[in-house]
Homo-oligomer: A and B are copies of this chain.
Amino acid sequence: MAQHAPFSGVLSPVLTPFDRNLNPDTDRFVDFCKRLLAEGCNGLAVFGTTSESNSLGVDEKQALLEALVAGGVDPAALMPGTGLSALTETVRLTKAAVHAGCGGVLLLPPFYYKAINDEGLFTYTSEVIQRVGDSRLKIYLYHIPPVAVVGWSLPLIERLMKTYPETIVGLKDSSGDWNNTKAVLDAFPGFGVFCGSEIFLLDTLRNGGAGSITATANINARAIRHLYDHWQDSNADALQAGVTAFRKALQQKPAIPAMKALLAHAEGQESWRAVRPPLQALNAEEGRQLAEALKPFGLAAAAE
């Protein structure tokens, strides 16, 4: 690991709880973040895809970030997603994150225009870095082509790392393609590479990666952290098989509504099921069935 990389281990892209009017439930959000850290998350990638970040306004995200810090969450453990489609809004949210003391930010590429080349993405990222203008800024590139379509290529990553070696410190690979994660790991030893699914956690660590930023850490943090802590032990493959089985059982349903329904079921808090459209909530019965299906995989630990 490069010494300048501030994060390693298991990070949760934190689900955003809403109230009945679909406004962020700030108190529950702060409590949930504290609980995830207590359950073993090494950090919190708030405002990720799993957080419905792009269904939230910039003002809403800034208010949630302030509430987290005011609520006593260590900002050094926070890696908020700050990459929006508009340069000016990306700069605004990234500045807010740096000023709040966040350990890093997770940067989506601008994702509206699709026929974009590396030169345009390099210019965009340079503008962000220069406009934020703060040496504390540490950027993790967020590569999620199945959703954002636009992504970070290997030549672009290399160019950004060479141009901004103190700022471009890592990448989250949510391509779902292990070959891509492996290529990044092989090309850039010491780069802070996180797999976007814990299914690849052991492979990532064995190839010099930093850890996993994974949706499932919202409901299975303890087990994933246990694997991270014991990845060099003789039973590591068995631990990996356990978290992989849990993930695959969860994937029967769309992940965000499914995890919210599970939390609603476990906590008896109906409003946990709420998602902002265009996502669609599961109903209470679906939540109950999913909880039942996950029992054999150790959901109990998450729903304590």
A87 within 8 A of B: yes
Q: Is the interface of A mostly helix, strand, loop or mixed?
A: loop
Interface residues on A, range: 35 or more
Stretch at the interface among A2-10, A109-117, A133-141: A109-117
Task: Choose among A57, A121, A147, A278 the residue with the greatest number of B CB atoms under 10 Å from its CB.
Answer: A278
Residue contact A92 to B277, C-beta cutoff 8 Å = no
A22 within 8 A of B: yes
Residue contact B277 to A112, C-beta cutoff 8 Å = no
Residue contact B57 to A89, C-beta cutoff 8 Å = yes
A276 within 8 A of B: yes
Residue of B nearest to A278 (CB): B120
CB distance from A47 to the nearest CB of B (A): 11
Expressed in whole angstroms, the Cα–Cα distance for A225 and B241 within the complex equals 65
Residue contact B120 to A279, C-beta cutoff 8 Å = yes
Cross-interface CB contact of A277 among B56, B120, B278, cutoff 8 Å: B120
Within the oligomer, what is the number of copies of this chain? 2
Given contacts A111-B112, A147-B112, A147-B114, contact A92 B57 (CB under 8 A): yes
Given contacts A55-B110, A58-B57, A92-B57, contact A123 B280 (CB under 8 A): yes
Task: Choose among A92, A111, A113, A127 the residue with the greatest number of B CB atoms under 10 Å from its CB.
Answer: A113
A153 within 8 A of B: no
Cross-interface CB contact of A54 among B60, B92, B112, B278, cutoff 8 Å: B112
CB distance from A90 to the nearest CB of B (A): 9
Expressed in whole angstroms, the Cα–Cα distance for A112 and B108 within the complex equals 11
Please give me the 3 A-B residue pairs with the lowest Cβ-Cβ distance, nearest first: A120-B278, A54-B112, A124-B277
Residues of A within 8 A of B (CB): 22, 49, 54-58, 60, 85-89, 92, 109-117, 119-121, 123-124, 127, 146-150, 254, 276-280
